[in-house]
Amino acid sequence: MKRYAAFDPPEYRNWRADPALVRAFRRRIEQESRRAALVKALRSDQLLILYRDLLLTRLQDIGLKRWVRQGVISKAWLGVGEEAVTVGCVAALDRRRDVVIPMIRNAGASHMMGLPLEDCFTAYLATADSPSGGRDFHYGDVGRGVIQPVSHMGTSVPVAAGAALAFRNRGEDRVALTWTGDGATRTAACHEGLVFASRLAVPAIVVIQNNQVALGTRLDQHGAGRLVDVPAAHGIATFTCDGNNVLDVYAATALARERCVRGNGPAALVADTFRMGGHATHDEREARETFAPELFEHWGRRDPVGLFEAYLTDEGVPAATLAEVEADATAAVEDAAERALASRGDLPVPEHALYEGISEGGVLHGLAARLAVRGGAE
C-alpha cells in the first residue's frame, strides 16, 4: 500500500517485504492442518475483501491522525500495527447473527459488521448524526451486531458472556466475541467474565489482544506469567495465533467459533502483536521511550498489511488488482471523512444526553431504526 510519510510509524515509511518473513507467514498458516484447510477454502474474492478490510482499518486511522494534525480533533486512539487481530476475527464470524464488542484498537470491526465508515469519524466529532447522537465517542449498533463498549477496561468480557448466555438459553447458533487488551486481563471484570463464561459454558470468544503494553506500562511490568494461562486458569479452551498474520487469526477464530456453536463452551484466543503508536496520538513520543527501538524495528518488519499484501502477490494476485482495491478503499475512507466533516456544525440539542429509563423523560434515539435492521419489533 501507499505509505504516508506524515502519518505512518517510521518503520512503515519505506516498508519492503522481508522474504524470510513472507515465508514464515505462509509456514504459519500451513503448519496446522485444520487452519491450513480453512485458509485454503478462502476464495480469491474473499482474500481481496480481507485485504480491503485491512486497508480500510489502516486508512481510517490515518484519516483520524490527519484530523489531529489539522486540529479538527484533539487526539485519537489508533490500532496501527494491530489491524489483523480485528480483521481476522470478524471475518471468521457469521456476521448476520454473531455479535462483537470492539475495544479502542478494534475500530475496524464496526465497518466489517456493516456500520457506515463515517460513524467512526462522526463519533469523534460528537455531532447529532453520530451513532450515539453526540453522547459518547464509543459507538456501536446493536442492530448490526456491534455492542457499544464502555471505556472501563475488562468490562466487555462479562458483557460478551451475558450476550452469549442469552444465545445459549434461546438455543441460537450465535457467538459473542470481544477483544481485551493484555492490560485489561488484570482486571476483576475480565476474570469475573471468564468465570461466568466458563462455568455457564456459554458461546463466547475472548480474544486477548496482546500488544505488549497497557498505556505506558509494559507487559512485563503489569503482570507475571503467560497470557494463555489467564483464560486457561478458568478452564477455557485457549488458542494462540500470530496477531500480525490475518489468515492465522482468521483460522484460529473460525476454530474457536466452531467449538462454541457445537456447545463446547467458550474459547479464548491469545493474539500477539505490537502497538506501533502511542496509547493515543498524544503520547507517541513517550511510547518510543517505553520500548527499545529494536522492538519497533522487529514488529515494523511484520506490518500486517504489508505481509498480507506480499502473500497475495506470492499467490499470483496482480499488482493492478491490489492497486484497484486500494484506490477504492482510499476513496471510501476519504469520502466518509469528508461527509462527516460536512456535518461538523450539526451539534446535538442538550436533551440528547438523556437515556430512556435512566434519565427521566429521555429517549434512546435510533433504537427503533436499529431494531428494524434486525427485523425485530420495538
Ligand X SMILES: Cc1ncc(C[n+]2csc(CCOP(=O)(O)OP(=O)(O)O)c2C)c(N)n1
Q: Does 81 bind ligand X (CB under 6 A)?
A: no
- Sole binder of ligand X in the list 26, 52, 65, 105 (CB under 6 A): 105
Residue pair 216/279 in contact (Cβ under 8 Å)? The answer is yes
Q: Does 183 bind ligand X (CB under 6 A)?
A: yes
Residue pair 277/80 in contact (Cβ under 8 Å)? The answer is yes
Q: Does 182 bind ligand X (CB under 6 A)?
A: yes
**Cα dihedral value 312, 318, 319, 323, nearest 10:** -90
Q: Does 153 bind ligand X (CB under 6 A)?
A: yes
Residue corresponding to grid cell 423523560:
361
Contact letters for ligand X, residues 249-278 (x by CB under 6 A) = --------------------------x---
Question: Residue length, the chain?
Answer: 378
The dihedral of CA 277, 283, 286, 290: what is its sign?
Answer: negative
- Sole binder of ligand X in the list 215, 228, 364, 371 (CB under 6 A): 215
- Sole binder of ligand X in the list 175, 184, 252, 287 (CB under 6 A): 184
Position closest to Mg ion via CB: 181
Position 14, amino acid: N
Residue pair 110/102 in contact (Cβ under 8 Å)? The answer is yes
- Sole binder of ligand X in the list 100, 117, 126, 214 (CB under 6 A): 214
187 binds, among ligand X, Mg ion, none (CB under 5 to 8 A by kind): ligand X
The answer for residues whose C-beta is within 8 angstroms of residue 33's C-beta and 6 or more apart is none
Share in percent of the chain as helix, strand, coil (round to 5): 50, 10, 40
Stretch in the footprint of ligand X (CB under 6 A) among 28-36, 39-47, 176-184, 200-208: 176-184
CB half-sphere exposure, 245, CA atoms < 13 A: 23
Strand-strand pairing, 267-272 and 237-242: parallel
Question: Which of 177, 325 has the CB closer to ligand X?
Answer: 177
Q: How many CB atoms lie within 10 A of CB 243?
A: 30
Question: Which of 63, 149 has the CB closer to ligand X?
Answer: 149
**Could you give the CA distance from residue 20 to residue 42 in angstroms, rounded to a whole number?**
24
Q: Does 213 bind ligand X (CB under 6 A)?
A: yes
Question: Which of 35, 275 has the CB closer to ligand X?
Answer: 275
**Which phi-psi region, left, alpha or beta, contains residue 4 (left: φ > 0; alpha: ψ -120 to 50)?**
beta
Position closest to ligand X via CB: 181
Of residues 330 through 369, those in contact with ligand X by CB under 6 A are none
268 binds, among Mg ion, ligand X, none (CB under 5 to 8 A by kind): none
List residues near Mg ion by CB under 5 A: 181-183, 211, 214
Stretch in the footprint of ligand X (CB under 6 A) among 24-32, 146-154, 251-259, 333-341: 146-154
Question: Which of 65, 105 has the CB closer to ligand X?
Answer: 105
Phi, psi of 68 (to 5 degrees): -65, -45
**Could you give the CA distance from residue 203 to residue 365 in angstroms, rounded to a whole number?**
30
151 binds, among ligand X, Mg ion, none (CB under 5 to 8 A by kind): ligand X
Q: Does 181 bind ligand X (CB under 6 A)?
A: yes
Question: Nearest distance from residue 213's CB to Mg ion, in Å?
Answer: 5
3 state SS of 351? helix
Contacts to ligand X by CB under 6 A: 105, 151-153, 181-184, 187, 211, 213-215, 275, 279
